[in-house]
Amino acid sequence: MNSFEIKTLLFIGIIVAVVLVIKFLSPSKENKLPYVLKTSWLTKGETKILEGIAEAGYFPFPKVRILDFVKYEYGRKIPIQYLSQVSSRSVDFLVCDTETFSPVAIVMCSPNDFVKRLSEKLGIPFIVIQKNTSPEEAKRIVLAEIQGEKNE
C-alpha cells in the first residue's frame, strides 16, 4: 500500500467512527430523557409555610429567582459584578398582594444576609420562618411583619 491508500483508508475510518459516535450519542425517539416528576417540589416544611402565608391573605410564590422580581436601577444592561450577585439566587417565598401581585415581603427558611440587604433596599420586609413552623405560626409571623411595616 502506498501512502495515498493509507491516508484514504484512515480518512474513511475516521468518517465511520464519527458517524457511529454521532449515531450512538445523539438522542433518538427511542432514547428517553432521564427525568421523572417529583411527587412534590416543596418539602413538608415549605408546604406548611406556604399554607400559612396563604391563610394570612397573601399569595406565596415559592422558589422565585431574584432576577424575576428585581431590575437594575441604572438602565437596561446589568454590569457583570451585579449580575453575578443575583443570577443564581432565589428566595424561598415571594409574598405578594392577591389583587396586584406586587411583592410585599420576602420569606426565607434560614437567614441570608444578601437577601436581607436586598429586601431593605426594595423596602419590603425580610422574614425568616423555620421549616418546622406550623401554618398558624407562619400566618401570625407574616401578618405581624407585614402589618407592622404598614403601621410604622
Name the nearest CA neighbour of 63 among 94, 104, 102, 109.
Answer: 94
Q: What are phi and psi of 109, to 5 degrees?
A: -85, -10
Q: What is the pLDDT of residue 105?
A: 97
- Per-residue model confidence as pLDDT tens digits over 93-147: 999 999 999 999 999 999 999 999 999 999 999 999 999 999 999 999 999 999 8
Query: Using the 8-state DSSP alphabet, how is residue 56 labeled?
Result: T
Interval 57-98: pLDDT, tens: 999 999 999 999 998 888 778 888 888 888 889 999 999 999
Residue 36 lies in a domain: no
Q: Are 128 and 105 in contact (CB under 8 A)?
A: no
Give a yes or no: residue 68 inside a domain.
yes
Q: Provide the pLDDT for residue 149.
A: 59
- Distance separating alpha carbons of residues 30 and 82, to the nearest angstrom: 44
Tell me the CA distances in angstroms from 22 to 11, 13, 131, one per residue in order.
17, 14, 47
Question: Residue 49 above 90 pLDDT?
Answer: yes
Q: How many domains does the chain have?
A: 1
pLDDT for 152 beyond 60: no
115 and 126 Cβ atoms separated by less than 8 Å: yes
Q: Is residue 24 part of a domain?
A: no
The pLDDT score that the predictor gives to residue 56 is 94
With a CB cutoff of 8 Å and minimum separation 6, the contacts of 127 are: 95, 105, 106, 107, 108, 141, 142, 145
Residue 66 resides in a domain: yes
Domain span at residue 93 reads: 44-151
Report the alpha-carbon distance of residue 61 to residue 91 in Å, rounded: 9
Residue 86 lies in a domain: yes
